[in-house]
Amino acid sequence: MGIQVTLLGTGSPIPNPDRAGPSSLVRAGGATLLVDCGRGVVMRLAGAGLFPVNLSAVLLTHLHSDHISDLNDVVTTHWVMTTEPVPLHVFGPPGTQQVIDGLLAMLAADQGYRLAHHEDLTYPPTVAVHEVEPGGTLDVGGARVVIGATDHRPVTPTVGYRFEHDGASAVLAGDTVPCAGLDQLAAGADIYVQTVIRADLVRNLPNRRIQDILDYHSTVEQAAQTATRAGVKKLVLTHYVPAMMPGQEDEWRALAAAHFTGEIVLGNDLMTITAP
Residues acting as catalytic residues: 66
How far, in Å, CA of 19 to CA of 227, rounded? 24
DSSP conformation class of 245: P
Among 66, 118, 82, 76, which residue's Cα sits nearest to residue 100? 76
Do 172 and 26 form a contact (C-beta atoms < 8 A)? yes
221 contacts 183 by C-beta, under 8 angstroms: no
Strands (E), 39-117: 57-59, 88-92
116's CB contacts (< 8 A; 6+ apart) are none
Q: Which helix (H) or strand (E) holds 146?
A: strand 143-149
The bridge status of strand 143-149 relative to strand 263-266 is unpaired
Decide: 164 and 140 in contact? Cβ < 8 Å.
no
The number of residues making up the chain comes to 276
